[in-house]
Copies of this chain bind each other. A is one copy, B any other.
Amino acid sequence: MRIKMTFCYDGSDFYGYQIQAHEFERSIQDEIEKTLSKILNEPIKVVASGRTDRGVHALKQIAHFDVSKLNVTLDRLAYSCNCLLNDDIRVIDFEIVEDTFHARFSVKKKHYRYIVSLKKNDPFMRKYSYQIKQSLNLEEMQKAANYFVGEHSFHNFCTNDEDFIRTIYDFSIKKEKELIYFDLIGNGFRRYMVRMIVGTLIEIGMNRFDLNQIPKLLDPSYLKRISFKAPPQGLYLYDIIY
């Protein structure tokens, strides 16, 4: 029986989603697998929609797992998980799905949000945003964002060595009070891709990088990996569409 699991987490105190080599390095996957295995009384392996890096948060993450026999209701399973799990991971719900559902391969769209805070002397958003002291040119940043929309080769905006073609359907930047939200919706994102794109936009917003370089950087024949990477604490896996 295949179960779909929806959950969220504050990534601050984790070494990332994926199980680490050292037991003492907390990972979301490890804590979820241990909790499910305990409650369901059999070894459970979960497959998530994708990994998130150290310090990255998830407002909505999806995983699936197979279980031979379900000895509790799904509501009770969620309740039990939330009792056993540390309070920086919360299960939202469980759902029985077809065996053909795959948390990673069935993904149609992913939505990532990146948060920049311009608020000065704020100790509360240090783990939940990228705090920047100088002002940013939002108009220039939105112009740059538009270049990324569509199907492109993101070879210069990730650390992978192959499989760079991705489609970004929507990329909006909005400012609310002293917070700037970068919302990217695409069919998939490679490692560090969101952080490298947002990092580049921030350089543009600070007038330290020319937005006219973007089309060239998206040209498959031009190899020059960019060196700007926004820090992890501003990044949130926001939604996954199947």
A155 at the B interface (CB under 8 A): no
Q: Are B82 and A124 in contact (CB under 8 A)?
A: no
User: Which residues of B have CB within 8 Å of A126?
Assistant: 10, 87-88
Q: Are A10 and B123 in contact (CB under 8 A)?
A: yes
Interface residues on A, range: 10 to 19
Q: Are B82 and A123 in contact (CB under 8 A)?
A: no
Stretch at the interface among A89-97, A98-106, A196-204: A89-97
A8 at the B interface (CB under 8 A): yes
**Interchain nearest-CB distance for A47 vs B (Å):** 21
Could you mark each residue 25-59 of chain A with 1 if its beta carbon is under 8 Å from any beta carbon of chain B, else 0?
Answer: 00000000000000000000000000000000100
A82 to B89, CA, bound (A): 31
A121 to B122, CA, bound (A): 25
* Interface core residue of A10, A89, A123 (most chain B CB under 10 Å): A123
Give me the interface of A with B, judged by CB distance under 8 Å.
8-10, 57, 82, 87-92, 121-124, 126, 128
Q: Can you name 17 A-B pairs with beta carbons within 8 Å?
A: A8-B121, A8-B122, A8-B123, A9-B123, A10-B126, A57-B124, A82-B121, A87-B123, A87-B126, A88-B123, A88-B126, A89-B123, A90-B121, A90-B122, A90-B123, A92-B121, A124-B128
User: 6 closest pairs, A vs B, by CB?
Assistant: A90-B121, A10-B123, A88-B123, A87-B126, A90-B123, A92-B121
